[in-house]
Amino acid sequence: MALRNLDDLAVFVRVVEHHSFSAAARSLHLAPKTVSKQIARLEQALGTTLFERNTRNLRITSEGRAIAQRARVALGILEEVQELATGGSQELSGTIRLTAPTPFGRKFVASAIHDFCRQHPRVDFDLRLSDQVQDLYSGDLDLAIRMGELTDSRLVARRMTDNRRILAASPAYLKVHGQPMQPEELALHNCLVFAYPGLLQNTWPLHNGRRDKPVAVKGTLSSDSGDVLHAWCLAGLGISLRETWDIYEELRDGRLVRVLPQWEATPSQISLVRARREPVPRRLTVFGDFLLERWRDAPWDAV
């Protein structure tokens, strides 16, 4: 049987994205039975099994995964054809699947999405927050907000704004332990370290505008959560190397104080990143333009 219904292919991709027939049905405003029938029809047309089903979970087959990758490309091309036919005048629609670091996503990305959706109500978002780097090639993500330098040459990055990291501590911590005067004195302090399996950021790459000075630090507390490190710093448990976007409000109201104010981490950037897939849906480009304009004069730049 030939594949004649492209809608079945779109439904299949949505099931892959949501890892669930029922979740895909809700996102498409369809009955779960309708989605099941469409997947069964697609499997019959393609002559292969796309999913292994049981009462507990849904697992895509290797054939299904390969088909999903190509189906996304094919559906993207069809979307581009439609945009060309309408001269780009058609209202934006579709889903943007985006990942971002948890604190930054909660503070800034979520509100940006809210305002973008007011301008483009037919665009849906799937926002996934994680302090660990998510693989844009392994699944169903379109975009990622990334901090720092990018090491994967397969990715296309668009700089959004600067990512400055400075040393900070609470007044209570500094009252007890004193203010270090030189970077080497950080070795005498309890430093709050970001870490997760395979990564331990126990060397802070400081610079003062004239020279770089990597400093080895240690402490009794480490976490893979930026929110936890932020909370520990506020609680007076140590010195932290924090992003200015994360602590500019606390610095402004005195809950945190800069440590070694003439030193900060080697400059880096906040980027919007996508995999090298063509074509690029117009909604992704427009959303990137929106974020670039929104963060052009970011409030944390004044720190």
Q: Quick check: helix, strand or coil at residue 230?
A: helix
Of 138, 67, 129, 125, nearest in space to 100 by CA:
129
Number of compact structural domains in the chain:
3
* 194 & 136 share domain: no
* 214 & 298 share domain: no
188 domain residue, yes or no = yes
Domain-terminating residue out of 85, 117, 143: 85
DSSP track, 2-38? ----HHHHHHHHHHHHHTSHHHHHHHHT--HHHHHHH
131: domain CATH number is 3.40.190.10
Question: Which residue type, as a one-letter code, is found at position 39?
Answer: I
Domain-terminating residue out of 85, 116, 144: 85
> Does 73 or 194 have the greater pLDDT score?
194
Per-residue model confidence as pLDDT tens digits over 4-59: 677 888 888 888 877 888 888 887 888 889 988 988 888 888 888 988 877 677 88
Domain that holds residue 245: 165-265
Residue 220 is predicted with a pLDDT of 96
* 153 & 245 share domain: no
Residue 89 is predicted with a pLDDT of 56
* 251 & 286 share domain: no
Q: How many residues does the structure list for the chain?
A: 303
pLDDT at 252 over 60: yes
Residue 6 is predicted with a pLDDT of 79
pLDDT at 62 over 60: yes
199 domain residue, yes or no = yes
Of 128-132, 196-200, 242-246, which range is least confident? 196-200
Enter the pTM of the model: 0.70
* 80 & 152 share domain: no
Residue 295 is predicted with a pLDDT of 94
Question: Which residue type, as a one-letter code, is found at position 173?
Answer: Y
d(CA 216, CA 150): 23
* 253 & 208 share domain: yes
Per-residue model confidence as pLDDT tens digits over 258-295: 999 999 998 889 999 988 776 788 899 999 999 999 99
- Average pLDDT estimate for 236-252: 96
Per-residue model confidence as pLDDT tens digits over 82-127: 665 555 557 888 889 899 999 999 999 999 999 999 999 999 998 9
DSSP tag of 124:
E
* 173 & 43 share domain: no
Of 132-136, 145-149, 205-209, 223-227, which range is least confident? 132-136
197 domain residue, yes or no = yes
Residue 258 is predicted with a pLDDT of 97
Give me the residue label for tokens 């990334």.
Answer: 146
Class of residue 85 by CB neighbours under 10 A (exposed 0-12, middle 13-18, buried 19+)? exposed
pLDDT at 298 over 70: yes
* 75 & 208 share domain: no
* 276 & 149 share domain: yes
> Does 239 or 12 have the greater pLDDT score?
239
pLDDT class of 200 with cuts at 50, 70, 90: confident
* 36 & 112 share domain: no
178: domain CATH number is 3.40.190.290
* 103 & 154 share domain: yes
Tokens of 238: 């140590």
Contact (CB, 8 A) for 138 and 155: no
Rounded alpha-carbon distances, angstroms, from residue 19 to 50, 57, 119, 129, 138:
12, 9, 29, 18, 14
d(CA 115, CA 82): 26
Per-residue model confidence as pLDDT tens digits over 115-149: 999 999 999 998 999 877 777 766 578 899 998 87
Class of residue 134 by CB neighbours under 10 A (exposed 0-12, middle 13-18, buried 19+)? middle
* 153 & 288 share domain: yes
1 domain residue, yes or no = no
